[in-house]
Structure 1
Amino acid sequence: MTTFLTPQQRAARTSAAVDAAVAAGRELGLTVTDATVLHDVFSVVVHLAPAPVVARIPTVLPHPEDLTALARRQQDELDVTRWLADQGIPVIAPSPLVPPEPVPRDGFSMTLWSFVPQDRNKEPDYVANAESVADLHAAMRPYPGSLGFLSAAEPQFIAESLARLDRHPTLIGAADLDRARREWHILEPFVRSRPAFQERFPGVGLQPIHGDSPPANIFSGAGGDLYADFELVTLGPVEWDLAALGPEHESAYNRGARRNGTRQLDAEVLGFVNAVGMLRVVATLMLVPQLPELMEYLEPAVDHWQRMPFAGGMNN
């Protein structure tokens, strides 16, 4: 039987995250008298007002108890965004008022960011954003730090979820789970191994990439658009950042790539990343008990996956 978090439990989790952020901020010397929740889905995002600092506290996680692994990922995000900000790239940057490192507190691991007022009158233009991602990729290419290969795909999370989802028949049917497992058998080697990927896709370069659909993670700030939410920053093919967005967004990205004189998207790699991205969607069903409203967002994606070519056509 699948047990779902109740609204009361969800509210208690949010309250605990806010309390942890307030306590951590004050311990770091910030004045916090009016903490305001800005967002609460996979993470609780809190403005530690009146300090110009926002805390992001991940709360919906495959392994909430593994704060060490989470902190490693958070440190990558802080390092990349601080480096981009130093290069003059428009990003939401780590707060300069605290050390640029994850902050553990009361069973959470959080990161602290500069508060940026939002332009609430601006509607997002995801096609224009997709073209802009080519600019971001050009800026990220010389990043000197070390990043894991396709860590944004979270292969261990996919593998564990596909192994356990048969215990939750209300989340996915047996036929769909069987398909997902067979697809993962084909795709997993190229996700876990950089040499295997490069042998399968010769000539497709790898570079630092955002990792989490950057066209959907451009923040409309009062002073202009800012790239945001690099939580899954990784080394990979640029196609990963356009996964599952479709031909219009792919064409927009290619316009940006031509303008930058950089590589356009490879159709075969797009098939691969689209297939892996859909398996991440299936794996994310395991998080629905922690965030029940997630199901209404995942079901249309699963329906779309059912109509896609098996394993992105890589079984041919």
Structure 2
Amino acid sequence: MPDFVTPEQIARRTSAAVDAAVGAGRALGLTVTDAEVLHDLFSVVVHLAPSPVVARIPTVLPHSADLGSQAARQQAELDVTRWLADQGAPVIQPSPLVPREPVQRDGLSMTFWQFVEEDRDKEPDYVANAEIVADLHAALRGYPGRLSFLSAAEPRVIGESLALLEDRPDLIAPSDLDRARREWQVLEPLVSSRAAFETAFPWTDVQPIHGDCPPANIFSGKDGKLYADFELVTSGPVEWDLATLGPDLESAYDRGARRNGMRPLKEDVMSFVNAVGMLRVIAALALAPQLPALPEYLNPAIIRWRTMPFAGGVGD
């Protein structure tokens, strides 16, 4: 595994992403004179001003990611968000000023979105957000496209990342890594196979879901809240979208579910998705060389994981 990138390398990575987005936007006919970075963490998000278009360019990626796999995932996101917008759902939608498909330039794959002005004075209300995730699930139930089962769990990435972390005791204690790998042996079959999941959790319906913690990915626009960041959109149990968020947000979701005539969250499925979610946290440590601040954010969750039942009690 490589050494940690320096601040100078991160700045060059950001600059390269901006240059690629500006070049791609201009090639598509957009006027771009004042590009502004809105966000820079796992992706660089750039407003291609004065055009009302935002480019999102993933820059911190698993070692196995390639342009083909990125483009497939990005196309699914574009298709789902465009469909939701057509149904009248409050969602940040693909820009109508360019083709609704991923664009590749300078070794990067990017998507283009409508620019929405953010209400920066409004603090996120994650409990309220969790309740309206049920509204999103109700809307997504009718999505006609095909989505793979629990691809948001990224089972290949988890396995590869746990292997990479064998040589990084500076990032994770060997005892923690040993537990994570043993848990993954239990959980991986249920993540990788819808049939195995349905055998383990009968009577649990599977449907299109957001895939990436939607209560934290609701954008506060000047004109109201919008669902955003469907990069990991997938098919799975609705519990996945509440993984690791705790009982307060689960209760809020259940209120929204009842309002929509939907079932409440199931305790055994929540234990399963919480366990997988924690392994995704541990696997993310393998990205630390690309994003040195990451361990500081992840370590509190890992401390909590040590107190949780092994593999969420699955198989007990």
Identify the TM-score tier after normalising by the shorter chain: over 0.9
Task: Indicate the residue corresponding to 1:181 in structure 2.
Answer: 181
SS in 2 for 1:205: coil
1:44-67 deviation line (CA, Å, top 9, x unaligned): 000000000000000000037611
Q: Cα offset for 1:2?
A: 5.3
Distance across 2 between alignment mates of 1:100 and 1:5: 33
The correspondence of residues 106-255 of structure 1 with structure 2, limited to 5 A, is 106-255=106-255
Q: CA RMSD in A?
A: 0.9
Distance across 2 between alignment mates of 1:79 and 1:63: 26
Q: Cα offset for 1:154?
A: 0.2
Gaps of 5+ in 1: none
1:94-146 deviation line (CA, Å, top 9, x unaligned): 00000000000001000000000001111111000000000000000010000
Q: Cα offset for 1:164?
A: 1.8
Task: Indicate the residue corresponding to 1:99 in structure 2.
Answer: 99
Distance across 2 between alignment mates of 1:288 and 1:306: 20
Task: Indicate the residue corresponding to 2:281 in structure 1.
Answer: 281
Distance across 2 between alignment mates of 1:64 and 1:267: 33
Cα 1:64–1:105 shift into 2, 3 Å: farther
- The answer as to whether partners of 1:44 and 1:59 remain within 8 angstroms in 2 is yes
Distance across 1 between alignment mates of 2:302 and 2:111: 32
- The answer as to whether partners of 1:65 and 1:107 remain within 8 angstroms in 2 is no
Distance across 2 between alignment mates of 1:2 and 1:235: 34
Q: Cα offset for 1:162?
A: 1.1
Cα 1:64–1:15 shift into 2, 3 Å: farther
1:18-69 deviation line (CA, Å, top 9, x unaligned): 0000000000000000000000000000000000000000000003761100
- The answer as to whether partners of 1:190 and 1:197 remain within 8 angstroms in 2 is yes
Gaps of 5+ in 2: none
What TM-score comes out, normalization by structure 2 length? Answer: 0.99
- The answer as to whether partners of 2:37 and 2:44 remain within 8 angstroms in 1 is yes
* Amino acid in structure 1 at the alignment position of 2:174: A
- The answer as to whether partners of 1:2 and 1:168 remain within 8 angstroms in 2 is no
Distance across 2 between alignment mates of 1:39 and 1:243: 24
Q: Cα offset for 1:263?
A: 1.2
Task: Indicate the residue corresponding to 1:11 in structure 2.
Answer: 11
Task: Indicate the residue corresponding to 1:72 in structure 2.
Answer: 72
* Amino acid in structure 1 at the alignment position of 2:80: V
* Amino acid in structure 2 at the alignment position of 1:308: M
Cα 1:73–1:157 shift into 2, 3 Å: same
After TM superposition, the structure 1 stretch with the greater mean CA deviation from structure 2, 65-74 or 38-47, is 65-74
The correspondence of residues 75-94 of structure 1 with structure 2, limited to 5 A, is 75-94=75-94
- The answer as to whether partners of 2:42 and 2:59 remain within 8 angstroms in 1 is yes
Moved segments of 4+, more than 3 Å: none
Cα 1:236–1:115 shift into 2, 3 Å: same
Q: Cα offset for 1:198?
A: 0.4
Cα 1:86–1:254 shift into 2, 3 Å: same
SS in 1 for 2:303: helix
Number of residue pairs aligned between Structure 1 and Structure 2: 316
Q: Cα offset for 1:158?
A: 0.3
Distance across 2 between alignment mates of 1:110 and 1:34: 19
Task: Indicate the residue corresponding to 1:46 in structure 2.
Answer: 46
Q: Cα offset for 1:169?
A: 1.1
- The answer as to whether partners of 1:2 and 1:170 remain within 8 angstroms in 2 is no
* Amino acid in structure 2 at the alignment position of 1:116: V
SS in 2 for 1:100: coil
2:39 aligned with 1:29, yes or no?
no
* Amino acid in structure 2 at the alignment position of 1:301: A
Taking every aligned residue pair, what percent have the same amino acid on both sides?
72
